[in-house]
Structure 1
Amino acid sequence: MKAPLATAAAMLGLVLGTANATSVLMERETAYGALRVEQTQSRRCVVASYDDRDAQHYIGCISRAQLGKLVLPYTRNLLAALLVQPKPQRVLVVGLRTGVVPRTLHTLLPQTYIDVVEPDKGLSTLASGCCFWFTNDHMRLINANPRAYVAAAAREDVRYDLVVLDTPGPTYIPDALMTREWLTAVRELMSNGAVLAANTWQTSPLYAHESATYAAVFGDFYNMRFDDNRLVIARKGPLPSDSEVQANARQWAPSFWLAFHTHVNDLLPLMDSEPDWPPDTRVISASAPPQALRAGTVKRTYAWYESVLTPLARAIRNRPVTAALLAILIIGMSIAAARPRTVAKEG
């Protein structure tokens, strides 16, 4: 009896292993670094290795079994923008990724005009070839530098009711697309009552500075935090009342569920407008660029370590057993932190 059971277990393991096996369909060098298209039985993803820590970051994913399924949580949570501006007539999406975000909006708003600005033609080709990205009379792709496009659109007096900033970079959001000057230029393109939705990370060392910058340009905003990600949902004008958001949620609930199996009740608890950063946090700007603020963050971190570790070293100087145990603990933590890892951080 043991042999058949062992054979069955081995076959089950083989089947499960095959189902979860990952194959690389394509690799391409882009402005965002080296990207590869990975595929399992259930989904296909565009993946970037942004740093030297062997951490993977997903540019975007699609479901192979259900084309309409929103695989990455941030793509589902972005639907919250429609609870603040339920009927946008014209939409700007900065950053194509795999085309999931603009395609999702097009599914829900087929008569809305959607402009997608993507500077990298290589990513555009990859998205259309591997991720079912397409254009039509209501959804167009503009291969241009985002700042140049925003400036040109402002000269032509173009206005958008919804703007989505979804811009991966070689390490994070490009520095030029984090400043008060950039967000102010984007705000000028927005109609009164229009909404901005920006995809960022809550684990970013500049989290507080980014938050202060959005607040400086837009005032109060919804700060949607989940996993390692954070979505900023801001409005040109005061945020809507809770009753307005609830009414919009009831309007969109059937469509969200039927098209994407997304419950509005999963979105509403994430829509927190209370500031969680120090009130004196410096705003990111041309005079205080991200690089300088990152350096300041590192210096403050080292200063904190020094303030903690120096007294600790003095305290255990004449206690060899305690010092040895502490050294073992630190070495173990360092080994664990150095292990290669795969994280589902979304660009």
Structure 2
Amino acid sequence: MRNYFHLIAVLALFTSAPTMADIIHKERSLYRNILVEENGDLRCLKFDEKTRTSSQSCMYVSKPKELVFNYTKLTFASLLMIDNPQNVLIIGLGGGTLSNVIHQLYPQASIENVEIDPAVIKVARDYFDFIETEKVTAKVQDGRIFIKRAAIKKEQYDWIILDAFNGDYIPEHLLTKEFFDEIKSVLAPNGIIAANTFSSSKLYQHESATYHAVFGDFINVTTEKNSNRIILAGFKAPPTAQEITQRIEKLTPLLSPYNIDIKAISQGMKSTKNNQDWPADTKVLTDQYSPANLLNF
């Protein structure tokens, strides 16, 4: 009898263990190891070959419209702050998920995707249905260099999304006051910045202090489901409660095909006005003081 129960326990262990994902693409680019894994209906882009625990982008093969990551859904809280964006800039492509959804929502909008790694752009095209048109483009360039040149050309963007990761964290030079000043210079008067970052990082306070130093009060968009947060910054004045309600009603049917519950997301929005959760003497990150490699974990 003891052997029988031991056998049952062993079988249960094997049957409950997660299935191994298949690697359908693997390469070493100029910047990183790139893996595309498929586990059943889920296909993911990963940059960390050693642990393979974190994904940069994922899609459901049978339901490519439906968003997988919570942070991508939170990014669309931006649409409660602005109406009908026509010039969109995304720094950090991943699989192109954000670009695709924005294009489908606003087909007349110009969307510029900036990605430092040409291999990532190719993988997005080949494995993640990344849409490119005359309106939707992908440019190989460091995000900060792109912003500097855009400022010289006096470009203006309604919606700037910061979503660049190197596999561990946000690149240091895209976390500083100087960079945010440059971002601010290309933001349209009624535009908004949405930055994907973390609420559990040791850099939380420094990032918050840096955004506040450049943009003043901003909005944190969070959820209890994971440790991501979206920072919404750069807006002149927040919309009224009535405007938020009207936008929720308008956006709900548009966003539901992507599995985005905009009403629930709105409940996770909190302004730093009267809710500053970092010490007043927190050091601002600058080009001379940006110790992301020391503080991010």
Query: Does TM-score exceed 0.5, indicating one fold?
Result: yes
Please state how far the C-alpha of 1:98 moved relative to its aligned partner.
Answer: 0.5
Aligned to 1:151: 148
Residues in 1 aligned to 2:178 and 2:229: alpha-carbon distance in whole angstroms: 21
In the superposition, relative to structure 1, how do residues 113 and 205 fare at CA in structure 2: closer, same or farther (>3 Å)? same
Residues in 1 aligned to 2:210 and 2:246: alpha-carbon distance in whole angstroms: 30
Aligned to 2:220: 223
Aligned to 1:281: 282
Please state how far the C-alpha of 1:289 moved relative to its aligned partner.
Answer: 2.1
Matched, 1:63 2:60: yes
Aligned ranges 1:82-231 → 2 under 5 Å: 82-226=79-223, 227-231=226-230
Are the equivalent residues in 1 in contact too, given 2:46–2:52 (CA < 8 A)?
Answer: no
Aligned to 2:261: 263
Larger-gyration structure (1/2): 1
Are the equivalent residues in 2 in contact too, given 1:191–1:236 (CA < 8 A)?
Answer: no
Residues in 2 aligned to 1:31 and 1:215: alpha-carbon distance in whole angstroms: 34
Amino acid across the alignment from 2:139: I
Please state how far the C-alpha of 1:286 moved relative to its aligned partner.
Answer: 2.1
Please state how far the C-alpha of 1:32 moved relative to its aligned partner.
Answer: 4.9
Amino acid across the alignment from 1:109: Y
The SS at the match of 1:281 is coil
Aligned to 1:317: none
Residues in 1 aligned to 2:125 and 2:204: alpha-carbon distance in whole angstroms: 33
The SS at the match of 1:49 is coil
Please state how far the C-alpha of 1:49 moved relative to its aligned partner.
Answer: 2.1
In the superposition, relative to structure 1, how do residues 200 and 291 fare at CA in structure 2: closer, same or farther (>3 Å)? closer
Residues in 1 aligned to 2:40 and 2:103: alpha-carbon distance in whole angstroms: 26
Are the equivalent residues in 2 in contact too, given 1:108–1:255 (CA < 8 A)?
Answer: yes
Are the equivalent residues in 1 in contact too, given 2:57–2:95 (CA < 8 A)?
Answer: yes
Are the equivalent residues in 2 in contact too, given 1:25–1:37 (CA < 8 A)?
Answer: yes
Are the equivalent residues in 2 in contact too, given 1:180–1:283 (CA < 8 A)?
Answer: yes
Aligned to 1:254: 253
Residues in 1 aligned to 2:52 and 2:100: alpha-carbon distance in whole angstroms: 28
In the superposition, relative to structure 1, how do residues 179 and 84 fare at CA in structure 2: closer, same or farther (>3 Å)? same
What is the percentage of aligned positions where both structures have the same residue? Answer: 27
Amino acid across the alignment from 1:139: V
Please state how far the C-alpha of 1:252 moved relative to its aligned partner.
Answer: 0.8
Residues in 1 aligned to 2:161 and 2:30: alpha-carbon distance in whole angstroms: 20
Residues in 2 aligned to 1:287 and 1:124: alpha-carbon distance in whole angstroms: 31
The structure 1 segments of at least 4 consecutive aligned residues displaced by more than 6 Å after TM superposition are none
Matched, 1:43 2:42: yes
Please state how far the C-alpha of 1:291 moved relative to its aligned partner.
Answer: 4.9
Instruction: Select between 20-29 and 175-184 the one with higher mean Cα deviation.
Output: 20-29
Aligned ranges 1:330-345 → 2 under 5 Å: none
Aligned to 1:24: 23
Aligned to 2:244: 245
Are the equivalent residues in 2 in contact too, given 1:60–1:97 (CA < 8 A)?
Answer: yes
Are the equivalent residues in 2 in contact too, given 1:21–1:41 (CA < 8 A)?
Answer: no
The SS at the match of 1:197 is strand
Amino acid across the alignment from 2:237: P
Please state how far the C-alpha of 1:71 moved relative to its aligned partner.
Answer: 0.5
Please state how far the C-alpha of 1:264 moved relative to its aligned partner.
Answer: 1.5
Give me the TM-score of the superposition, normalised by structure 2.
Answer: 0.88
Are the equivalent residues in 1 in contact too, given 2:184–2:234 (CA < 8 A)?
Answer: no
Are the equivalent residues in 2 in contact too, given 1:63–1:69 (CA < 8 A)?
Answer: yes
The SS at the match of 2:54 is strand
Are the equivalent residues in 2 in contact too, given 1:69–1:261 (CA < 8 A)?
Answer: yes
Give me the TM-score of the superposition, normalised by structure 1.
Answer: 0.76
Please state how far the C-alpha of 1:285 moved relative to its aligned partner.
Answer: 0.8
Gaps of 5+ in 2: 1-6
Bigger fraction of residues in helix: 1
Aligned length: 284
Are the equivalent residues in 2 in contact too, given 1:202–1:228 (CA < 8 A)?
Answer: yes
Are the equivalent residues in 2 in contact too, given 1:221–1:239 (CA < 8 A)?
Answer: no
Residues in 1 aligned to 2:196 and 2:137: alpha-carbon distance in whole angstroms: 21
What do the CA deviations read for 1:215-235 (whole angstroms, capped 9, x no partner)? 111111111223121110113
- Aligned-residue CA RMSD in angstroms? 2.6
The SS at the match of 1:35 is strand
What do the CA deviations read for 1:145-184 (whole angstroms, capped 9, x no partner)? 1111111111111100000000011421000000010011
Amino acid across the alignment from 2:21: T
Aligned to 2:3: none
